[in-house]
Amino acid sequence: MGSQQNSLTERAIDLRYEGRSDEAIALLKQAVELGEPEALRELAYALLGSPDPAAAVRLVKKAVKRGRTDLWSLLASLAADLGQARTADRAYRAAIEAGDLSALNDYGVFLRDQERYREAVEVLRRACDHGDVLAPGNLVATYADDLSDLPAAIETGERYADPERPSVYPALAVAYARAGQLGKADDLFRQGIAAGARKAHQAYAWFLWDDKKDVVAAERQFWLAFEADEPGWSLGLGELLTELGRVAEARAVLERGAEWGDLDARALLEELDR
């Protein structure tokens, strides 16, 4: 049972898991009016999966203007998801200036998405210096995926690889795969999964699909990503199922992801519907 203070918010989250998003949004609006602490954040996430995802940004912008400076990072993340790069950049900088050092990693990822790779490296290094557990993995990925600097990726990954920083393992695995060391990569992916690395099942699935050409094993990992509730699980699985000609299954998977605010899953679903 949840606390009385957060009862409406928690009931709304349950409704979202039941696929009753409209009811959840209505309940969260009531919770916001009553001042429940996490209601506004949850309402923003729910709106991101609604027919009008931009409403999530409008909601958080208003809250920030009213003094909720703790929501700068959330505003940045939502704006980035919706392609509002200028708003996202300003909001990330404001969050960091306000002392939210956890925003450094997210800003670094945003800069990668904007193809501002050298800036991303600088910001991610700052995040690493401040002890962010996700930043080392993202720094390794920037070197390997964006700058094609495998020596730097492998050196950085080997330096930071540790169960306390599990996201390093899959990123380092990708670097070794690019270097043609598939056995080493496979072992590192498994270490990442064992350590609970974020999105590790998905990373392993892509490796099994692209490098090992083992579609059956890749699908199994995507379903494990679903069971682990990894962010973005539906897109990869939807793409795989589409590739295999199992379009009805793909559509069901993508609908679930879109409802939970995965805009990439929504885009693929719209493409299938066309």
Task: Express each pLDDT in 201-226 by its tens digit.
Answer: 999 999 999 999 999 999 999 999 99
Mean pLDDT of all residues belonging to the chain:
95
Q: State the pTM of this model.
A: 0.86
Q: Which of 2-11, 28-37, 109-118 has the lowest mean pLDDT?
A: 2-11
Query: Which pLDDT band holds residue 1 (cuts at 50, 70, 90)?
Result: very low
Q: What is the pLDDT of residue 46?
A: 96
Q: What is the pLDDT of residue 48?
A: 94
**Contact between 200 and 170 (Cβ < 8 Å):** yes
* Percentage of the chain lying above the pLDDT 90 cut: 96
Query: Which pLDDT band holds residue 3 (cuts at 50, 70, 90)?
Result: very low
Query: Which pLDDT band holds residue 6 (cuts at 50, 70, 90)?
Result: low
Three-state SS letters, 84-132:
CHHHHHHHHHHHHHCCCCCHHHHHHHHHHHCCCHHHHHHHHHHHHHCCC
Q: Using CA atoms, how far apart are residues 262 and 242, in angstroms rounded to an integer?
A: 17
Q: What is the pLDDT of residue 274?
A: 84
**Contact between 167 and 138 (Cβ < 8 Å):** yes
Q: What is the pLDDT of residues 148-176, one digit of tens each?
A: 999 999 999 999 999 999 999 999 999 99
**Residue in the structure block whose two tokens are 């930043």:** 135
- Give the pair of three-digit tokens for residue 234: 């539906």
Q: What is the pLDDT of residues 18-72, one digit of tens each?
A: 999 999 999 999 999 999 999 999 999 999 999 999 999 999 999 999 999 999 9
Query: Which backbone phi and psi does 215 adopt, to 5 degrees?
Result: -70, -35
Q: What is the pLDDT of residues 60-111, one digit of tens each?
A: 999 999 999 999 999 999 999 999 999 999 999 999 999 999 999 999 999 9
Residues paired with 162 in a beta bridge: 165
Q: What is the pLDDT of residue 2?
A: 42
